[in-house]
A and B are shown apart, each in its own frame.
Chain A
């Protein structure tokens, strides 16, 4: 009787494990499926000319260079504003701020900011940067709008990774005659950097892929040349994809999928970089 029971338990366990494995596979399937599908449909469109040429024939032919460069500019622009500001805010929250009503309010604001739909950021950016500050529909206005959207991600991941650095390191460093700032710079930031970078990349990745925030603030339907200054509007991959998928009649389907593929590779590359940084750092970590 006991034996039978034991065998039963093993069977139950095996079934349980199989189910869990199955579910894990099921969650991966859509991602892998999407990538393969896009690769299959769009792979044939991607060529050297496609990556380095300008669109022509009402965007039904030619390349997508201005959109690629535009997305690159927007990502860099977003990084310029959101990375220093986000890290500074995280350092303040994790290392200096006392727990009080103000810091609780700041955290609440950050959490809520992260939940706001991206189109709302777009409208806000339109009101503040494009109209009120008169930056016009420009890379600058779009980057600032994207920065506001990315900041919560960067701040909360950076704060998290600063906090995960053991308190004892700080105490020891201070006891050896370091100031607070020296301790942060030489120990805490160094140890938290991989986590911070991961958050930065994830935030920028989201910025690179968004359409709604740049829709009213910086994205151009079509431009025959590359933007020359931060005050120019720009084409961008996600918006271009939206345009050629919905606004242009008789659009060759490969170009749509080709554009999607380029955007996907752009974003996935950032993801892979983040993963590599994280796993390298974890292997090297001494605590």
Chain B
């Protein structure tokens, strides 16, 4: 199986001097959940934000290396970032429903992409809300404001909003950090369904979640990729001392 994403010698330094990624190289498999975990400040979010060029919005002092998606270096300044962001969707830690109805939230990206046909949009709403396991809960109130939903429901609508664009890669940055265990379970179940079609990269909010969901797992510590392996191996028999310490809860 080929790698969907290949990261080569990626380093990144924010304008305040923080070295958030140091020479990271890894390949990320298609149709699998790859988990990036590690203590706070390890550079996990930074890496995710490189993958859809969201770091373009922040002040970055220096970055080097490349990220190949389907063989194309997306860090090249000539890359069409809008197209890239449609292909690489992102779900954030805190659900951020845009100030509009549930339906409008879900079709926001599609409309910007130029889709005007109502049938297509309706179809996308139903398909993506079903995929995000939220359809039954909201199908009768699609025109209500999305903020009126509970946090867990909002987060799944945010996931649906990303799915509506039919991306190829889905980035999730601690998507369940604010959610109760039941909502968390629903989101995780949705992820398992999603990996059949998509490449999923997840920053989990706990080691337990990492162990539950990971097909592959990467351990990050202060910007360095310490260990990268099959998920099962990583959480039963880590090779690095630092990884083991972290998994056993001995630090961080």
Contacts and interface: CB of A to CB of B under 8 A. Distances in A.
Contacts of A174: 54, 57, 85
A168 B85 CA distance: 16
B86 interface: yes
B79 to A, nearest CB: 13
B92 A168 contact: yes
Contact of A177 (B57, B85, B96, B145): B85
B144 to A, nearest CB: 11
A147 B83 CA distance: 42
Interface in B72-87: 82-83, 85-86
B99 A191 contact: yes
A21 interface: no
Interface residues of A, number: 21
Contacts of B98: 169, 172-173, 187
B112 interface: yes
Interface in A152-173: 166, 168-173
A112 interface: no
A33 B246 CA distance: 72
B82 A179 contact: yes
- Decide if the interface of chain A is mainly helix, strand, loop or mixed: helix
B109 A177 contact: yes
B112 A176 contact: yes
A186 B57 CA distance: 18
Contacts of B82: 177-179
B99 A286 contact: yes
Nearest to A182: B112
Interface in B44-98: 52, 54, 57, 82-83, 85-86, 89-90, 92, 94, 96-98
Given A171-B54, A175-B85, A176-B162, A287 B112 contact: no
Contact of A285 (B85, B90, B99, B108): B99
Interface string B181-200: 00000000000000000000
Given A171-B54, A172-B92, A177 B99 contact: no
A169 B96 contact: yes
B166 to A, nearest CB: 12
Nearest to A187: B98
Contacts of A170: 57
Given A171-B57, A187-B99, A287-B99, A177 B92 contact: no
B113 interface: yes
B147 interface: yes
Interface in B123-178: 145-147, 158, 161-162, 165
B161 A287 contact: no
Contacts of A182: 112
Contacts of A186: 112
Given A169-B96, A286-B99, A287-B99, A176 B161 contact: yes
Contacts of A172: 92, 96, 98, 158
A172 B99 CA distance: 12
Contacts of A286: 97, 99-100, 145-147
Given A169-B98, A287-B99, A175 B112 contact: no
A177 B113 contact: yes
Nearest to B161: A176
Contacts of B145: 286
Interface of B: 52, 54, 57, 82-83, 85-86, 89-90, 92, 94, 96-100, 108-109, 112-113, 145-147, 158, 161-162, 165
28 contacts: A166-B96, A168-B94, A170-B57, A171-B54, A171-B57, A171-B96, A172-B92, A172-B98, A172-B158, A173-B98, A175-B52, A175-B89, A175-B92, A176-B86, A176-B89, A176-B109, A176-B112, A176-B161, A176-B165, A177-B82, A177-B86, A177-B109, A177-B113, A182-B112, A187-B99, A285-B99, A286-B145, A287-B147
Given A177-B83, A286-B97, 10 more contacts: A170-B57, A172-B92, A173-B98, A174-B85, A176-B112, A176-B161, A177-B82, A177-B165, A186-B112, A285-B99
Going nearest first, the 10 A-B pairs with the smallest beta carbon separation are: A176-B109, A286-B99, A177-B86, A168-B96, A177-B85, A286-B147, A175-B90, A172-B96, A177-B82, A178-B112
